[in-house]
A and B are shown apart, each in its own frame.
Chain A
């Protein structure tokens, strides 16, 4: 039945095409339900977006937790909201902790989630605005402006320069997702105050986007954004700050980035409705966001802790989004985005194809 449902989630596309179309990257989580047999110990299945982040989570969070708690874990790369919904609806939930992006886990998604147990999870230690009924942030990242240093000699000052094709010729990379920040950067460039972004003025955003539409290149994945900016195919791109960092520092591409105008967001831990390991899932989340553990991801990635009492790795300080809060920046209003996601999506698609 699980198989059938998993196939079903992709079947809209399968029904259209006999050819492969690249879906979720892996299906390694097995047997968590079978291993759950009441008691105190279990095998807890964790799923996140993958990449370098996934490896860091396994090393810095999951392995130490297994050591300390005596529970086991299964880690899977490739979150998929559709798959989660299919699991919950068929009552065969194999994921226990779901590490979604900033648009996931607001009250609008309550029908697929279990409320978090804040008697176990230290909510008071979490930065304000980064925890709610169904979700708690485990790291803070941002969407920032990155540029290719071969193509752009003088560092751009912010999103206004991103939209200035005269001063900075060249193509621009943007995320191909209505709720990924594309409307936000247009409004910031057009002079909207960062704290007055929401509710988004979509007409104004689209007017602004139209001024550079012919130069836009839409990327579908973080890896693709690194390729576009690293090769110089685009001279500037909006990028996840961890991806911009990876292109510059790890891959040593001619890439640099600015924190001016960055849009802060967070990744969130949630527990699917119907999990067989609710207790252990809550314990794992409490562990992941705890003071001593929450800052560890910053040893290899520019991701800031959500726990106010955690200290990030000092070597990473200058690359953390939270080290640049004295400069202009915005914070995503996930609640508003979730409530307006249908409008955002239909306006986005209509604009793109017009």
Chain B
């Protein structure tokens, strides 16, 4: 498989150098990120050991031993894993449909996939509540056609959270999968067929291994993003589905215990950075189409 990938990416060892004027282009972005993202993050996390004065590791001790925090942490991880699995399956299938579609349909499918990017997260999450709640569209229809005699509890369930987050995060899987598929050399498929592979074997033994990089990269992004979700689980989930972001927000805004909030944020950030470190090469390869060393 490595040789196939290697041949696809032109040997993978060429490293195009940026011409100097182009290199200048990255500095404004880095500077802005440093001021509005990196520095505040450092300050917040540093509070985990300095607030209250002399806190040391006591906040971390509280976070890692408090059953409520662990429960919220588990809610977060569980939801993230389920959403990642759902987006992986649906996203890869959808990308494959785009890949196989004719030019006109392809544009339409791509447009639909990107639609979530252009609407506010809050609006989309709220729209799901209107659809799913007891007095919502789905239950209205079910009652109308006499499938049920009292509303089915859809909203405020793990199902609603999974549905809402999956819909919102799908583009992060679809796009890298589609990119990987577009780079697939169709001659490989023909070669497999001509050597006697049935269509399903050609798909699973040749096409899928080559395009898997997009799936893995997209899944890592979704996992990382869903660990930080706040408003969607709050609006769509029940009391047992709430993520750790809810605890952090309550410590920041109502308890004003920024040390504890900082230590929770630090733990989550560490998990996210670890995941990114593990998957960074794949993410970069899927999005930039080259090896990162």
Q: Give chain A's interface residues, CB within 8 Å of chain B.
A: 4, 7-22, 80-82, 85, 103, 171, 177-179, 213, 216-218, 220, 231-233, 341-342, 345-346, 349-350, 352-354
B45: nearest chain-A partner, CB-CB: A15
Contacts of A349 in B (CB 8 A): 68, 72, 247, 250
A16–B227 CB distance below 8 A:
yes
Q: Which has the most chain B C-beta neighbours within 10 Å: A213, A232, A345? A: A345
Determine how close the nearest CB of chain B comes to the CB of A163; give it in whole angstroms: 17
A14–B41 CB distance below 8 A:
yes
Determine how close the nearest CB of chain A comes to the CB of B37; give it in whole angstroms: 7
Determine how close the nearest CB of chain B comes to the CB of A82; give it in whole angstroms: 5
Q: How far is the CA of A350 from the CA of B253 in the complex (A)?
A: 18
B265–A15 CB distance below 8 A:
yes
Q: How far is the CA of A231 from the CA of B240 in the complex (A)?
A: 24
Q: How far is the CA of A27 from the CA of B68 in the complex (A)?
A: 34
Q: Which has the most chain A C-beta neighbours within 10 Å: B71, B228, B234, B272? A: B228
Determine how close the nearest CB of chain B comes to the CB of A90; give it in whole angstroms: 11
A16–B269 CB distance below 8 A:
yes
Contact with A along B207-245 (1 / 0, CB 8 A): 000000000000000000101111100100001101001
Known: A217-B156, A218-B239. Is A15-B41 also a contact (CB below 8 A)? yes
A9–B240 CB distance below 8 A:
no
B253–A82 CB distance below 8 A:
yes
Contacts of A82 in B (CB 8 A): 252-253, 256, 258
Q: List 8 A-B contacts (CB under 8 A).
A: A14-B41, A15-B41, A81-B253, A85-B258, A233-B133, A342-B255, A346-B66, A353-B239
B229–A19 CB distance below 8 A:
yes
B68–A353 CB distance below 8 A:
yes
Contacts of B133 in A (CB 8 A): 231, 233
Contact with A4, one of B40, B45, B245 (Cβ below 8 angstroms): B40
Interface flag for B261 (CB, 8 Å): yes
Determine how close the nearest CB of chain B comes to the CB of A67; give it in whole angstroms: 35
B44–A231 CB distance below 8 A:
no
A83: nearest chain-B partner, CB-CB: B253
B121–A177 CB distance below 8 A:
no
Q: Considering only CB atoms and an 8 Å cut-off, how many residues of chain B contact the other chain?
A: 52
B254–A81 CB distance below 8 A:
yes
Contacts of B135 in A (CB 8 A): 231-233
B254–A12 CB distance below 8 A:
no
Known: A11-B265, A17-B229, A19-B121. 20 other contacts (CB 8 A): A7-B40, A8-B43, A12-B44, A12-B261, A13-B249, A13-B252, A16-B228, A17-B228, A17-B230, A20-B120, A22-B122, A82-B253, A171-B134, A213-B239, A218-B239, A231-B133, A232-B135, A342-B257, A349-B247, A353-B68
Q: How far is the CA of A16 from the CA of B247 in the complex (A)?
A: 12
Interface flag for B160 (CB, 8 Å): no
B68–A346 CB distance below 8 A:
yes
Contacts of B251 in A (CB 8 A): 12
Q: Tell me the B64-96 residues at the A interface (CB within 8 Å).
A: 66-68, 71-72, 75
B68–A13 CB distance below 8 A:
no
Interface flag for B39 (CB, 8 Å): yes
B228–A19 CB distance below 8 A:
yes
Contacts of B75 in A (CB 8 A): 353
Contacts of B242 in A (CB 8 A): 352-353
A353–B72 CB distance below 8 A:
yes
B255–A341 CB distance below 8 A:
yes
Known: A4-B40, A13-B248, A353-B71. Is A177-B231 also a contact (CB below 8 A)? no
Contacts of B35 in A (CB 8 A): 4
B221: nearest chain-A partner, CB-CB: A18
Interface flag for B36 (CB, 8 Å): yes
Contacts of B120 in A (CB 8 A): 20
B240–A353 CB distance below 8 A:
yes
Contact with A345, one of B37, B255, B269 (Cβ below 8 angstroms): B255
The 5 closest A-B pairs by CB, nearest first: A17-B228, A16-B228, A11-B40, A352-B239, A350-B68
